[in-house]
Structure 1
Amino acid sequence: MRIIYIDGYNVINSWPNLNKIKDYSFESARQQLIDTMQNYGSYKSSKIVIVFDAHKVGGNMEKKDIAGMVTVVFTKDGETADGYIERMINNIGRKVEVFVVTSDWLEQQTIFQRGAVRMSSLEFYNEVLSIEDKIRKKTEKSKLKQKNLLEDSIDKKILEELEKIRRSR
């Protein structure tokens, strides 16, 4: 299983749809990102860790919320999302496949040196859009298969008789 660490505010500020939402409510933008990652993580069988900076919030303790494949982390006072992600990657080492999503160039270089795969926020945005499109198509295909047609549920002889009546008009 791969683990994807996401610099939450970096992604919110980079993705066009989330950037618009954040202008009205950061909470709504965070929730939209979390919801999107729930779908993405389930589809890709990936563990997702979204990290939000709380380093400027005095006295803040590190907080984690886990829902399915997604863990949401608010860092403790004095710790950036970058610092948290670097610390976690150091703890994991090279035992599992780790991706880090951020557009912070220095952070990309640091995590790459520690064995993680880096991905910019916009690259990840395009991948997520592609996955959402695949999910939508798969859902539509599934709905079509589940349609209950009259011809599937009636006796073949009755269907033939109805067809004769239809053609005689």
Structure 2
Amino acid sequence: MKRRDDVLLVDGYNMIGAWPELAALRDKDLEDARDRLLEMLADYQGFTGMTVIVVFDAHQVPGIGSTFKQHRLTVVYTKEKETADSCIERLASEMAMRSRNIHVATSDLVEQHVAFGKGALRISARELLIEIKQNRKAIEQKVDQKNKARNELDGNLSMDVRLKLEKWRRGK
């Protein structure tokens, strides 16, 4: 069971490649696929209360890397010559020392084994997508229930007050 102080480390491009909706979007515009992934993970973070950190591989792009907040998620672009896998391993090691449950979302089997060795729990891209879809359904059901629930005043009024209101309604 996940707790509010748990951390989910996500291999961003691995999810984009593994989730059909995002893979199709990536083929048209990679930036749109990244934005959609972040929206989905922001909803997941909001529902579960977990801290979500999304790591994007930028090892072939010159630069020092960057970390910023988007949709209340922490988004990390790795620095030059650092892969998303090595960044996730480093973060998992650092965070495991803080007595938190660390979950690593990737379908890369080698990365799953390394993360497990660092004390992290693994979740495949497919499993994470299923969880996200289940959370969305739970949210929609709660919204539907609230919309269907009627706030009937009649059941909360005393008989005296109901009789007075009925007289007013009839114009007496």
Structures share fold, TM-score greater than 0.5:
yes
TM-score, normalised relative to structure 2: 0.83
**Of the candidates 134, 141, 149, which is equivalent to residue 130 of structure 1?**
134
Cα displacement string for residues 45-69 of structure 1 (whole angstroms, at most 9, x for unaligned residues): 1000000000011x22211111464
Counterpart of 1:51, as a letter, is V
Say whether the 8 Å CA contact 1:34–1:70 is kept in structure 2: yes
1:103 aligns to 2:107 (yes or no): yes
Correspondences of 1:78-117 after superposition (within 5 Å): 78-94=81-97, 95-117=99-121
How many residues get paired?
A: 161
In structure 1, distance between residues paired with 2:106 and 2:47: 21
Structure 2: unaligned runs, 5 residues or longer: 156-160
Aligned-pair Cα RMSD in Å = 2.6
In structure 2, distance between residues paired with 1:10 and 1:76: 18
Cα displacement string for residues 56-87 of structure 1 (whole angstroms, at most 9, x for unaligned residues): 11x22211111464111111111111010001
Partner of 2:53: 49
Counterpart of 1:70, as a letter, is L
Partner of 1:60: 63
Q: CA 1:68–1:27 in 2, change beyond 3 Å: closer, same or farther?
A: closer
Partner of 2:7: 3
In structure 2, distance between residues paired with 1:5 and 1:142: 33
Partner of 1:76: 79
Cα displacement string for residues 120-146 of structure 1 (whole angstroms, at most 9, x for unaligned residues): 10111111111111011111212223x
Structure 1: unaligned runs, 5 residues or longer: 163-169
